[in-house]
Protein backbone atom coordinates (compact mmCIF):
# COMPACT_ATOMS: atom_id res chain seq x y z
CA UNK A 1 0.00 0.00 0.00
CA UNK A 2 2.79 2.42 0.87
CA UNK A 3 4.59 1.56 -2.36
CA UNK A 4 1.46 2.33 -4.36
CA UNK A 5 0.96 5.64 -2.49
CA UNK A 6 4.51 6.78 -3.02
CA UNK A 7 4.52 5.69 -6.67
CA UNK A 8 1.36 7.75 -7.12
CA UNK A 9 3.23 10.78 -5.77
CA UNK A 10 5.88 10.15 -8.42
CA UNK A 11 3.22 9.86 -11.13
CA UNK A 12 1.72 13.20 -9.97
CA UNK A 13 5.24 14.66 -10.10
CA UNK A 14 5.28 13.81 -13.84
CA UNK A 15 8.03 11.21 -13.58
CA UNK A 16 8.52 8.98 -16.61
CA UNK A 17 10.81 6.56 -14.81
CA UNK A 18 10.09 5.14 -11.38
CA UNK A 19 12.56 2.84 -9.73
CA UNK A 20 11.38 0.64 -6.86
CA UNK A 21 13.65 -1.65 -4.84
CA UNK A 22 12.71 -3.95 -2.00
CA UNK A 23 15.73 -5.36 -0.24
CA UNK A 24 15.86 -7.72 2.71
CA UNK A 25 19.19 -7.82 4.49
CA UNK A 26 18.90 -10.64 7.01
CA UNK A 27 22.36 -10.05 8.46
CA UNK A 28 21.47 -6.47 9.38
CA UNK A 29 17.88 -7.45 10.17
CA UNK A 30 16.74 -4.75 7.79
CA UNK A 31 14.06 -4.30 5.17
CA UNK A 32 14.67 -1.43 2.76
CA UNK A 33 12.12 0.00 0.37
CA UNK A 34 13.63 2.53 -2.02
CA UNK A 35 11.48 4.50 -4.44
CA UNK A 36 13.15 6.90 -6.81
CA UNK A 37 11.60 9.05 -9.52
CA UNK A 38 12.73 11.56 -12.12
CA UNK A 39 9.77 13.88 -11.61
CA UNK A 40 9.64 17.59 -10.80
CA UNK A 41 11.18 17.12 -7.35
CA UNK A 42 10.57 19.27 -4.29
CA UNK A 43 11.88 22.65 -3.22
CA UNK A 44 13.93 22.73 -0.02
CA UNK A 45 10.99 24.38 1.70
CA UNK A 46 8.54 21.64 0.69
CA UNK A 47 11.04 18.91 1.49
CA UNK A 48 11.54 20.29 5.03
CA UNK A 49 7.87 19.94 5.85
CA UNK A 50 6.86 16.96 3.72
CA UNK A 51 6.65 14.61 6.71
CA UNK A 52 3.90 16.77 8.22
CA UNK A 53 0.36 15.64 7.37
CA UNK A 54 -0.52 19.28 6.66
CA UNK A 55 1.75 19.35 3.66
CA UNK A 56 0.06 18.70 0.35
CA UNK A 57 -0.29 20.11 -3.13
CA UNK A 58 -3.73 18.51 -3.25
CA UNK A 59 -6.60 20.87 -3.93
CA UNK A 60 -9.25 18.41 -2.79
CA UNK A 61 -8.21 18.39 0.88
CA UNK A 62 -5.77 20.13 3.15
CA UNK A 63 -3.64 17.25 4.24
CA UNK A 64 -1.55 14.59 2.56
CA UNK A 65 -0.99 11.30 4.28
CA UNK A 66 1.20 9.28 1.95
CA UNK A 67 4.58 10.26 3.38
CA UNK A 68 3.49 10.71 7.05
CA UNK A 69 1.91 7.23 7.14
CA UNK A 70 4.94 5.62 5.51
CA UNK A 71 7.19 7.42 8.04
CA UNK A 72 5.08 6.22 10.98
CA UNK A 73 5.11 2.66 9.64
CA UNK A 74 8.93 2.64 9.55
CA UNK A 75 9.30 4.34 12.92
CA UNK A 76 6.99 1.77 14.54
CA UNK A 77 9.78 -0.75 14.00
CA UNK A 78 12.60 1.54 15.11
CA UNK A 79 13.35 2.38 11.48
CA UNK A 80 13.14 5.62 9.55
CA UNK A 81 12.14 7.25 6.29
CA UNK A 82 14.62 9.42 4.42
CA UNK A 83 13.55 11.75 1.63
CA UNK A 84 15.94 13.48 -0.68
CA UNK A 85 14.75 15.59 -3.57
CA UNK A 86 16.11 18.02 -6.10
CA UNK A 87 13.82 20.37 -8.03
CA UNK A 88 13.85 19.42 -11.71
CA UNK A 89 15.70 16.16 -11.06
CA UNK A 90 13.51 13.97 -8.91
CA UNK A 91 12.94 12.43 -5.54
CA UNK A 92 14.27 9.43 -3.65
CA UNK A 93 12.64 7.88 -0.59
CA UNK A 94 14.45 5.29 1.48
CA UNK A 95 12.31 3.45 4.01
CA UNK A 96 14.12 1.38 6.60
CA UNK A 97 12.35 -1.23 8.74
CA UNK A 98 13.65 -3.62 11.35
CA UNK A 99 12.90 -6.82 9.42
CA UNK A 100 12.11 -9.08 12.40
CA UNK A 101 10.09 -6.43 14.30
CA UNK A 102 6.60 -7.56 15.30
CA UNK A 103 5.12 -4.32 13.91
CA UNK A 104 6.83 -4.59 10.55
CA UNK A 105 4.00 -4.75 8.01
CA UNK A 106 4.00 -7.75 5.66
CA UNK A 107 5.34 -7.15 2.17
CA UNK A 108 1.83 -7.59 0.83
CA UNK A 109 0.95 -8.20 -2.79
CA UNK A 110 3.79 -6.38 -4.51
CA UNK A 111 3.10 -8.20 -7.79
CA UNK A 112 -0.43 -6.80 -7.84
CA UNK A 113 0.86 -3.31 -7.00
CA UNK A 114 3.36 -3.37 -9.86
CA UNK A 115 0.83 -4.81 -12.26
CA UNK A 116 -1.66 -2.02 -11.43
CA UNK A 117 1.01 0.65 -11.79
CA UNK A 118 2.06 -0.74 -15.19
CA UNK A 119 -1.52 -1.02 -16.39
CA UNK A 120 -2.59 2.44 -15.17
CA UNK A 121 0.51 4.23 -16.46
CA UNK A 122 1.57 2.72 -19.80
CA UNK A 123 3.59 5.88 -20.58
CA UNK A 124 5.73 5.56 -17.46
CA UNK A 125 8.57 3.09 -17.10
CA UNK A 126 8.91 1.06 -13.93
CA UNK A 127 11.99 -0.73 -12.77
CA UNK A 128 11.45 -3.03 -9.84
CA UNK A 129 14.11 -5.01 -8.11
CA UNK A 130 13.63 -7.52 -5.31
CA UNK A 131 16.61 -8.76 -3.33
CA UNK A 132 17.09 -11.20 -0.49
CA UNK A 133 19.47 -14.10 -1.01
CA UNK A 134 18.36 -14.15 -4.65
CA UNK A 135 17.26 -11.27 -6.81
CA UNK A 136 14.59 -10.49 -9.39
CA UNK A 137 14.28 -7.62 -11.83
CA UNK A 138 11.22 -6.29 -13.63
CA UNK A 139 11.94 -3.53 -16.14
CA UNK A 140 9.19 -2.20 -18.39
CA UNK A 141 11.83 -0.63 -20.66
CA UNK A 142 13.25 -4.06 -21.37
CA UNK A 143 9.77 -5.49 -21.72
CA UNK A 144 8.83 -2.78 -24.26
CA UNK A 145 11.99 -3.50 -26.29
CA UNK A 146 11.15 -7.19 -26.38
CA UNK A 147 7.59 -6.37 -27.45
CA UNK A 148 8.94 -4.62 -30.52
CA UNK A 149 6.13 -2.09 -30.95
CA UNK A 150 3.33 -4.15 -29.44
CA UNK A 151 1.77 -1.94 -26.71
CA UNK A 152 2.37 -2.96 -23.12
CA UNK A 153 -1.41 -2.80 -22.65
CA UNK A 154 -2.00 -5.51 -25.29
CA UNK A 155 -4.15 -8.25 -23.71
CA UNK A 156 -1.53 -10.90 -24.33
CA UNK A 157 1.14 -8.83 -22.63
CA UNK A 158 -1.17 -8.00 -19.75
CA UNK A 159 -1.94 -11.64 -19.20
CA UNK A 160 1.77 -12.44 -19.06
CA UNK A 161 2.85 -9.77 -16.53
CA UNK A 162 1.09 -10.93 -13.31
CA UNK A 163 2.47 -14.47 -13.47
CA UNK A 164 5.94 -13.20 -14.32
CA UNK A 165 5.92 -10.81 -11.35
CA UNK A 166 4.37 -13.28 -8.94
CA UNK A 167 6.83 -15.99 -9.82
CA UNK A 168 9.88 -13.73 -9.54
CA UNK A 169 8.81 -12.15 -6.29
CA UNK A 170 7.87 -15.47 -4.70
CA UNK A 171 11.23 -16.84 -5.75
CA UNK A 172 12.98 -14.09 -3.80
CA UNK A 173 10.73 -13.52 -0.79
CA UNK A 174 8.58 -16.63 -0.53
CA UNK A 175 4.80 -16.21 -0.14
CA UNK A 176 2.78 -13.00 0.26
CA UNK A 177 2.90 -12.82 4.04
CA UNK A 178 6.68 -12.52 4.26
N1 LIG B 1 7.86 12.11 -5.52
C2 LIG B 1 7.47 13.38 -5.32
N3 LIG B 1 7.86 14.37 -6.18
C4 LIG B 1 7.47 15.65 -5.98
N5 LIG B 1 6.68 16.07 -4.97
C6 LIG B 1 6.27 15.14 -4.08
C7 LIG B 1 6.64 13.74 -4.20
N8 LIG B 1 6.09 13.08 -3.18
C9 LIG B 1 5.41 13.97 -2.45
N10 LIG B 1 5.50 15.22 -2.98
C11 LIG B 1 4.90 16.46 -2.45
O12 LIG B 1 4.63 16.26 -1.08
C13 LIG B 1 3.24 16.41 -0.82
C14 LIG B 1 2.82 15.44 0.27
O15 LIG B 1 2.84 14.08 -0.20
P16 LIG B 1 1.96 12.97 0.53
O17 LIG B 1 2.05 11.71 -0.24
O18 LIG B 1 2.36 12.92 1.96
O19 LIG B 1 0.51 13.55 0.47
P20 LIG B 1 -0.38 13.83 -0.84
O21 LIG B 1 0.16 13.06 -2.00
O22 LIG B 1 -0.49 15.30 -0.98
O23 LIG B 1 -1.79 13.26 -0.42
P24 LIG B 1 -2.17 11.68 -0.27
O25 LIG B 1 -0.88 10.90 -0.36
O26 LIG B 1 -2.80 11.57 1.08
O27 LIG B 1 -3.07 11.42 -1.40
C28 LIG B 1 2.56 16.19 -2.17
O29 LIG B 1 1.32 16.86 -2.24
C30 LIG B 1 3.58 16.77 -3.13
O31 LIG B 1 3.46 18.19 -3.17
MG1 LIG C 1 0.66 11.00 -1.79
**Count of domains in the chain?**
1
Which range of residues forms the domain containing residue 32?
2-173
Q: Is residue 147 part of a domain?
A: yes
Q: Is residue 92 part of a domain?
A: yes
Q: What CATH number corresponds to the domain at position 134?
A: 3.30.565.10
Query: pLDDT tens for residues 139-172?
Result: 999 999 998 888 998 998 899 999 999 999 999 9
66 lines ligand 1 (CB under 6 A): yes
The mean pLDDT of 119-127, rounded to a whole number, is 96
Pocket mutation for ligand 1, best pick of 16, 19, 33, 67 (most atoms within 8 Å of C-beta): 67
- What mean pLDDT value characterizes the chain? 94
Q: Which ligand is nearest to the CA of 40?
A: 1
Residue 176 has pLDDT above 60, yes or no: no
Q: Is residue 178 part of a domain?
A: no
Q: Is residue 139 part of a domain?
A: yes
Ligand 2 centre and the CA of 67: distance in Å?
Answer: 7
pTM of the complete model beyond 0.75: yes
Confidence bin at 59 (pLDDT 50/70/90): confident
58 lines ligand 1 (CB under 6 A): yes
13 lines ligand 1 (CB under 6 A): yes
Q: Name the 3-class secondary structure at 76.
A: coil
Cα–Cα distances in Å, from 58 out to 12, 17, 64?
Answer: 10, 22, 7
Confidence bin at 177 (pLDDT 50/70/90): low
pLDDT of residue 178: 66
Rg of the chain over CA atoms, in angstroms?
A: 16
Amino acid sequence: MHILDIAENAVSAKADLINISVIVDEKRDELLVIIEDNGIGMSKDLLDKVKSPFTTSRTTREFGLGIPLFTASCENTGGSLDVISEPGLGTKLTARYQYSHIDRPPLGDIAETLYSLTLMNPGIDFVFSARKSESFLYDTRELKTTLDGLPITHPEVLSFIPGFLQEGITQVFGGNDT
